């Protein structure tokens, strides 16, 4: 998996993986949103304007992603997965479907998840030419949205998990994500218990490590460690690069996108 790090005030990680034929991008502060206009902002997500061009100019290869209609579902912090397989469906129609992950084998169809502390995950099978984009927040992670996504990729496209590649993007780290005990215990169904991904913080809170929780899910599913990339950026710590709900209570969102070439 070839990742090119491009760090600036507006863009963090983007790149091209020629071996598996997919392009991907983890974007920082590029989607201005307001509570009353989130739907409209999604519709206009990839129109040619200063916002998208400011990001995309840094790598001409990735311009191909931003010049197309982006497919984004209505994220609801669950574990439902949408399969994009109708070549004629519009991005606006997809935006009305409740799901927190998208998978597709259609080329030239950018699939997107939005986050502002939650964990964005991209998946790719280089043999079957399938990609997925996952929005894994606390509830989605506890509900196993990554597991549901991989299972559907196996069922729908016959992928072999040992060939699957995963990229875990910028999200809030265990350094900054404190939750109550009841929230932490949502992970008790997983092997070794919820305290595997938590440590006691201050004022009766627990520091929750969603990044490790999703990485461990990937390993438990059978992904090879060498095929799992973790960005290492905490959205709350690096508020200069990313929007963070915990840090600034913003309705702006970071974008994560993948597209088969």
Report pLDDT for 26: 54
Q: Domain of 122: which CATH number?
A: 3.60.140.10
Residue 65 lies in a domain: yes
How confident is the prediction for the chain on average, in pLDDT? 76
Residue 191 falls inside a structural domain:
no
For position 213, what pLDDT does the model report? Answer: 93
Span 226-252, average pLDDT = 86
Q: What is the pLDDT of residue 177?
A: 93
pLDDT given for residue 60 in this prediction: 45
Residue of higher predicted confidence among 258 and 23: 258
- Is the per-residue pLDDT at 86 higher than 80? yes
Question: Is pLDDT at 13 greater than 80 in this prediction?
Answer: no
pLDDT average, residue stretch 2-25 = 37
User: Mean pLDDT: which of 32-41, 47-56, 136-145, 191-200 is highest?
Assistant: 136-145
Helix locations, the chain, DSSP H: 38-43, 50-56, 63-66, 91-94, 138-142, 145-157, 181-184, 210-221, 245-248
Q: What is the mean pLDDT of residues 197-220?
A: 90
Q: Is 57 helix (H, G, I), strand (E, B) or coil?
A: coil
- Let me know if residue 70 belongs to a domain: yes
Which residue range(s) make up the domain with 244?
A: 4-172+224-260
Bridge partners (DSSP) of residue 64 are: none
In DSSP terms, 14 is beta-bridged to: 4, 25
Global pTM reads: 0.80
- Quick check: is 63 in a domain? yes
The predicted model gives 62-91 an average pLDDT of: 84
The continuous run of DSSP H or E covering 214 comes out as helix 210-221
Mean pLDDT of 48-55: 33
Q: Is residue 168 part of a domain?
A: yes
pLDDT reading at 197 higher than 60: yes
- Domain for residue 194, yes or no? no
User: At 219, which helix (H) or strand (E)?
Assistant: helix 210-221
- Which pLDDT value is given to residue 189? 65
Domain count, the chain: 1
Indicate whether 128 pLDDT > 50: yes
How many whole angstroms separate alpha carbon 130 and alpha carbon 123? 8
CB-based contacts of 191: which residues, under 8 Å, 6+ apart?
220
Whether 118 is in a domain gets the answer yes
Give the pLDDT confidence score for residue 260 in this predicted structure: 84
| Residue 76 counted as domain residue | yes
**pLDDT value of residue 225:** 95
Residue 51: predicted pLDDT: 34
Q: How far apart are CA 142 and CA 165, in angstroms?
A: 21
């Amino acid at each position: 998996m070839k990742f090119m790090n491009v760090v600036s005030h507006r863009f963090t990680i983007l790149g091209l993986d020629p071996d598996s034929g997919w392009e991907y991008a983890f974007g920082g502060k590029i989607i201005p949103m307001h509570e009353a206009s989130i739907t409209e902002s999604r519709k206009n997500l990839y129109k040619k304007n200063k916002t998208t061009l400011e990001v995309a100019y840094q790598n001409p290869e990735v311009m191909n992603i931003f010049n197309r209609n982006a497919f984004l579902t209505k994220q609801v912090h669950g574990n439902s997965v949408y399969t994009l397989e109708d070549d004629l469906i519009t991005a606006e129609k997809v935006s009305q479907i409740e799901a927190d992950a998208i998978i597709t084998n259609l080329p030239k169809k950018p699939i997107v998840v939005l986050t502002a502390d939650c964990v964005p995950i991209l998946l790719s099978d280089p043999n079957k030419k399938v990609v997925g984009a996952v929005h894994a927040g606390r509830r989605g992670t506890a509900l196993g949205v990554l597991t549901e996504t991989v299972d559907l990729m196996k069922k729908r496209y016959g992928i072999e998990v040992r060939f699957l590649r995963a990229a875990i993007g910028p999200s809030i780290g265990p350094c900054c994500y404190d939750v109550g005990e009841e929230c932490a215990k949502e992970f008790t169904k997983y092997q070794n218990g919820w305290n595997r991904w938590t440590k006691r913080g201050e004022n009766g809170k627990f520091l929750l490590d969603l990044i490790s929780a999703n990485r461990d899910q990937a390993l438990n599913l059978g992904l090879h460690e060498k095929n799992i990339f973790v960005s290492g950026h905490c959205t709350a710590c690096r508020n200069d690069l990313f929007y963070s709900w915990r840090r600034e209570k913003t309705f702006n969102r970071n974008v994560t996108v993948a597209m088969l070439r």
